[in-house]
Structures are given as structure tokens and as C-alpha cells.
Amino acid sequence: DAVMHMAAETVVEYSMTDPRRYFHNNIVGGINLLDAMLKHEVYKFVFSSSAAVYGDPESIPIEEGHLKLPVNSYGESKLMFEHILQWYGKAYGLKHIFLRYFNAAGATELLGEDHCPETHLIPNVLKAALLQSPISIFGTDYPTKDGSCIRDYVDVIDIAQAHILALERIEQFNGRAYNLGNEEGCSVFEVVEAARKVTHAEIPVKISSRRAGDPAVLVASSKQAKLELGWKPQFAQLEAIVESAWKWMRKHPEGYSA
């Protein structure tokens, strides 16, 4: 038996104004889960962590050993829970692996993104295409090639595969952390352009001020996951990720409520 723990409060902007909620749900809730596992003698745990644990990175691409200084309480909550897991491992024999997602995106035929509120870039850009409305770009004065934030987008199917591989190898690589990303940075403007190509919509942009807690650049080094877990991402191209999300959104314009 094993647990894959993916539940969490994840909106970076909200974590800056309501850290109590993030620490309570992401840490206290997680501890309750760990205690329930011990009670029922379940000792294998794959944790959905985040690139947010690194904060503003000093070097790109980011390797797992990079300094961890979160700049928002969401990232802090993920890092704190990683530490808690390490202590549970030492004290109670809980085998665990951390998977540090970069920007999860994309969809399958049956499953897509439907958050309330929706804060992820790709579904918001596609919703703008669907509704023929502008998309807000938060900050164009970052020290990047076009002034917008740069992120590393990784498909949910590839993330799911990484979880299976982690569970299969948890005995061998107990306690390890792995970055999950495509090792390629895409700016907000590049995501908008990819969405224009996929949807054939104009998608006007609206420039807004920066959001609190957003690092300028987050790009993964996923070499360790590839080497040790045998992880091989199948959806490395941004347009392919956007296209899968677009197909789902066209079938579910109102999300899961439709």
C-alpha cells in the first residue's frame, strides 16, 4: 500500500495574503494524513512538492540541490512539509520521494483544469480565446527576454508517469527529491502566442502590475529524474500541451459544472 499526496492550497497570490490558510491546510492537513498512514501501517509516500521551494533561483536551470528560499507562503508550506517527511522517515520508517513540479499544464480527453478561481496561465489564455476577451499579463518589467515571467511547462500525463516511476523505485531512492519539468523556459508572451496558433484567435493582452510572490524565472533541470527514475517526458513541446488543454476546454467550456 502507498499514498500519493497531491492535495494542497496552491494559489501563490492568495498565499501572500492568507498564509495561515496555507500552513493549516498544507502542513496540518498533511500531518493528519501521515498519522493516519502510520495508524494503518502504510509506509510509502510520494509527495507532490513544487518548484516554489526554490524561490528566486540564483542559477538556471535549477537543480535539486539548489538553495531553497521560498518567496511565498505556498512554497514555504511545501518546503516545511518536505522537512516533516524527512523526520517521519527517520523516526517511523516512512519511505518517501518528493516530486517538485514546475508548471503543470495540459489535459487528457476526460480531465482538464477547472479551478475556482482560475489562476493558471494556459487555461486563462484559452478562456480568453474562447470568450474573445483580453488576457491579463502580470508584469512586463522582469529581467527576462521580453519582460514577462518565464516558466517551465510540464504535461500532466508526464507528471502522472513520474509518480508511477517514483512509487516503483521508492525502496531504492527513498528520501530523494526530483524536479519535474521540460528544461525549457517559456515566457508569458510565448504562451499567448502558442495559444494564438492553436486556437486561431487573436487574444488581445492587457498589461497589469506584477503579482506578489512571482519569481522572474523558473526552469528545471530534470536530469536526476531521467537518470534515476527513468522518466521520459513525452509532451515536451509547448504547443502540444496547449493543444491538449484547448481540446478539453472546447468540450467543457463551463468546466466540470457543464
Half-sphere exposure of 105 (CA within 13 A, CB side): 31
Q: Does residue 92 carry a catalytic annotation?
A: no
- pTM of the predicted structure, to 2 decimals: 0.93
Between CA 179 and CA 101 the distance in angstroms is 6
The catalytically annotated residue of 22, 74, 142, 153 is 74
pLDDT of res. 258: 61
Average confidence (pLDDT) per 10 residues, the chain, 258 residues: 95 90 97 98 98 95 97 96 98 99 93 84 95 94 97 97 98 98 97 98 95 91 98 94 95 82
CB-based contacts of 236, cutoff 8 Å, min separation 6:
182, 184
DSSP one-letter code for 24:
I
Residue 44's domain spans which residues?
3-257
Of 55, 163, 50, 145, residue with least CA distance to 100? 50
The CATH number linked to 188 is: 3.40.50.720
Domain count for the chain: 1
pLDDT of res. 117: 80
